[in-house]
Amino acid sequence: MPGPTAPPAPQHQRMRRNSGATGKPEQRFRGTPVSPGVAIGSVFGNHEPPTEVVHRTIAPAEARAERERLRVAIAGSIKQLNKLRARLSILPEDSQSEIAPLLEAYQRMLGPSRLVRGAERRIAQDHLAAETAMHDEAEAVAAAIVGAGDGKSLSADDRASMARRAEEVREIARRVVRNLTRAPFRSFAGLPEGAVLVCEWLRPSDAALLDPTRLAGVATDEGGGEGHTAVMLRALGMPAVLGADGLSHAIAEGEEVVVDGSAGVVILNPTPQTTAEARQAVAAFARERQRYARTRRLPAETTDGEKIELQANLGLPIELPLIAQSGARGVGLLRTEFLFMNREEVPDEDTQVEAMDGDTVTIRVLDWGGEKDIEALQAAGIVPEIADTNPALGARGIRLLLRQPGLFEQQLAAILRAAADGPVRVLLPMITNVAEVRTAREIYERVARRMRRAHERLPDRLPPLGVMIETPGAALSADALALEADFFAIGTNDLTAYTLAVDRSKADLAGLYDPLHPAVLRLIQFATEAALRLRKPVSVCGEMAANPRLTPLLIGLGLRSFSMNASAVPRVKQRVRAVSVEHCARLARRVMEQSDGAAIRALLDSAEDAPA
Ligand code: PEP
Ligand code: MG
Instruction: Please give the Cα distance from 408 to 386 (Å, whole number).
Output: 18
Which residues neighbour 579 within 8 Å (Cβ) at sequence distance 6 or greater? 302, 303, 551, 552, 555, 612
* pLDDT for the residue numbered 1: 37
**Are 294 and 55 in contact, with CB atoms under 8 Å apart?**
no
Q: Compute CA distances 513 → 69, 492, 547, 563, 599, whole Å.
A: 39, 11, 15, 21, 16
| Ligand nearest the Cα atom of residue 96 | 1
* pLDDT for the residue numbered 352: 46
Instruction: Please give the Cα distance from 510 to 496 (Å, whole number).
Output: 12
The total of other beta-carbon atoms located within 10 Å of residue 390's CB is 7
Position 392 confidence tier, pLDDT thresholds 50, 70, 90 = confident
Residue 409: helix, strand or coil by DSSP?
helix
Nearest atom, ligand 1, residue 335 CA: 9
Q: Whose CA is nearest to atom 1 of ligand 1?
A: 491
* pLDDT for the residue numbered 34: 81
Respond yes or no: is residue 228 known to be catalytic: yes
**Which tops the pLDDT comparison, 20 or 411?**
411
**Catalytic entry in 199, 517, 541, 584:** 541
Q: Whose CA is nearest to atom 3 of ligand 1?
A: 491
For residue 313, how far is its CA from the centre of ligand 1 (angstroms)?
10
Mean pLDDT, to the nearest integer, of 116-144?
Answer: 95
Smallest Cα–Cα separation from 526: which of 490, 571, 562, 574? Answer: 490
* pLDDT for the residue numbered 7: 31
Lowest mean pLDDT among 20-29, 103-112, 324-333, 527-536: 20-29
| Ligand nearest the Cα atom of residue 337 | 1
Q: Whose CA is nearest to atom 10 of ligand 1?
A: 494
For residue 480, how far is its CA from the centre of ligand 1 (angstroms)?
22
| Ligand nearest the Cα atom of residue 541 | 1
DSSP percent split of the chain into helix, strand, coil, nearest 5: 50, 15, 35
Q: What percent of the chain has pLDDT over 90?
A: 48
DSSP for 366-389?
A: ---BTTB--HHHHHTTSS-----S
What is the distance, to the nearest Å, from the Cα of residue 420 to the centroid of all Cα atoms in its chain?
A: 31
For residue 121, how far is its CA from the centre of ligand 2 (angstroms)?
40
Position 22 confidence tier, pLDDT thresholds 50, 70, 90 = low
The pairing of strands 240-242 and 32-35 is antiparallel
Q: Whose CA is nearest to atom 6 of ligand 1?
A: 491
**Catalytic entry in 228, 517, 583, 584:** 228
Lowest mean pLDDT among 42-46, 334-338, 345-349, 482-486: 345-349
Nearest atom, ligand 1, residue 470 CA: 2
- Buried b / exposed e over 330-346, threshold 16 CB at 10 Å, is bbbbbbbbbbbbebeeb
* pLDDT for the residue numbered 12: 38
* Predicted confidence (pLDDT) per residue in 547-587, tens digit: 899 999 999 999 999 998 877 888 899 899 999 999 999 99
For residue 291, how far is its CA from the centre of ligand 2 (angstroms)?
33
Smallest Cα–Cα separation from 285: which of 79, 560, 1? Answer: 1
For residue 127, how far is its CA from the centre of ligand 2 (angstroms)?
46
**Which tops the pLDDT comparison, 467 or 100?**
467
pLDDT at 138 over 80: yes
Mean pLDDT, to the nearest integer, of 364-380?
Answer: 68
Nearest atom, ligand 1, residue 429 CA: 6
- In the chain, the amino acid numbered 327 is G
The best mutation among 96, 314, 335 to test binding of ligand 1, ranked by most ligand atoms within 8 Å of the C-beta, falls on 335
The best mutation among 398, 430, 468, 559 to test binding of ligand 1, ranked by most ligand atoms within 8 Å of the C-beta, falls on 468
Which residues neighbour 224 within 8 Å (Cβ) at sequence distance 6 or greater? 32, 34, 230, 242, 243
* pLDDT for the residue numbered 314: 80
| Ligand nearest the Cα atom of residue 372 | 1
* pLDDT for the residue numbered 313: 85
Position 235 confidence tier, pLDDT thresholds 50, 70, 90 = low
Lowest mean pLDDT among 13-17, 201-205, 415-419, 540-544: 13-17
* Predicted confidence (pLDDT) per residue in 455-496, tens digit: 999 988 999 999 999 999 999 999 999 999 999 999 998 999
Protein residues with CB under 6 Å of any ligand 1 atom: 333, 335, 367, 470, 491-494, 541-542
For residue 186, how far is its CA from the centre of ligand 1 (angstroms)?
30
**Are 203 and 174 in contact, with CB atoms under 8 Å apart?**
no
DSSP for 478-539?
A: HHHHHHH-S-EEE-HHHHHHHHHT--TT-GGGGGG--TTSHHHHHHHHHHHHHHHHTT--EE
* pLDDT for the residue numbered 18: 45
Q: Whose CA is nearest to atom 9 of ligand 1?
A: 335
Mean pLDDT, to the nearest integer, of 309-334?
Answer: 77
**Are 558 and 537 in contact, with CB atoms under 8 Å apart?**
no
* pLDDT for the residue numbered 543: 85
For residue 169, how far is its CA from the centre of ligand 2 (angstroms)?
31
Nearest atom, ligand 1, residue 337 CA: 9
**Are 266 and 31 in contact, with CB atoms under 8 Å apart?**
yes
Q: Whose CA is nearest to atom 4 of ligand 1?
A: 491
* pLDDT for the residue numbered 541: 94
The best mutation among 367, 374, 561, 564 to test binding of ligand 1, ranked by most ligand atoms within 8 Å of the C-beta, falls on 367
| Ligand nearest the Cα atom of residue 565 | 1
Long-range CB contacts for residues 516-522, cutoff 8 Å, separation at least 24: 516/550, 516/597, 516/600, 516/601, 516/604, 517/596, 517/597, 518/592, 518/594, 518/595, 518/596, 518/597, 518/600, 520/492, 520/495, 520/496, 521/553, 521/557, 521/591, 521/592, 521/600, 522/592
pLDDT at 205 over 50: yes
Rg, Å, the chain Cα set: 26
Mean pLDDT, to the nearest integer, of 118-131?
Answer: 95
**Are 362 and 425 in contact, with CB atoms under 8 Å apart?**
yes
Identify the helix (H) or strand (E) that includes residue 234.
helix 228-236
Q: What are the phi and psi torsion angles at 160 (to 5°)?
A: -65, -40
pLDDT at 383 over 80: no
Specify the pTM: 0.62
Mean pLDDT, to the nearest integer, of 241-269?
Answer: 92
Position 327 confidence tier, pLDDT thresholds 50, 70, 90 = confident
Helices (H) and strands (E) in the chain, counts: 24, 17
Identify the helix (H) or strand (E) that includes residue 426.
strand 424-428
Instruction: Please give the Cα distance from 565 to 430 (Å, whole number).
Output: 20
Position 344 confidence tier, pLDDT thresholds 50, 70, 90 = very low
Respond yes or no: is residue 541 known to be catalytic: yes
Q: Whose CA is nearest to atom 8 of ligand 1?
A: 493
Instruction: Please give the Cα distance from 258 to 267 (Å, whole number).
Output: 5
For residue 542, how far is its CA from the centre of ligand 1 (angstroms)?
6
Which residues neighbour 583 within 8 Å (Cβ) at sequence distance 6 or greater? 552, 607, 611, 612
* pLDDT for the residue numbered 5: 32
For residue 494, how far is its CA from the centre of ligand 2 (angstroms)?
5
**Are 224 and 25 in contact, with CB atoms under 8 Å apart?**
no
* pLDDT for the residue numbered 96: 64
pLDDT at 301 over 80: yes
Nearest atom, ligand 1, residue 541 CA: 5
Instruction: Please give the Cα distance from 28 to 93 (Å, whole number).
Output: 35
Instruction: Please give the Cα distance from 124 to 60 (Å, whole number).
Output: 8
Nearest atom, ligand 1, residue 313 CA: 5
* Predicted confidence (pLDDT) per residue in 514-539, tens digit: 999 999 999 999 999 999 999 999 99
Smallest Cα–Cα separation from 308: which of 327, 321, 294? Answer: 327
pLDDT at 329 over 90: no
Mean pLDDT, to the nearest integer, of 45-65?
Answer: 85
**Are 217 and 41 in contact, with CB atoms under 8 Å apart?**
yes
* pLDDT for the residue numbered 379: 61
Nearest atom, ligand 1, residue 492 CA: 3
Q: What are the phi and psi torsion angles at 554 (to 5°)?
A: -65, -40
Residue 111: helix, strand or coil by DSSP?
coil
Smallest Cα–Cα separation from 217: which of 239, 246, 200? Answer: 239
Q: Angle at which helices 156-181 and 114-126 pack, to 10 degrees?
A: 50
The best mutation among 499, 505, 541, 543 to test binding of ligand 1, ranked by most ligand atoms within 8 Å of the C-beta, falls on 541
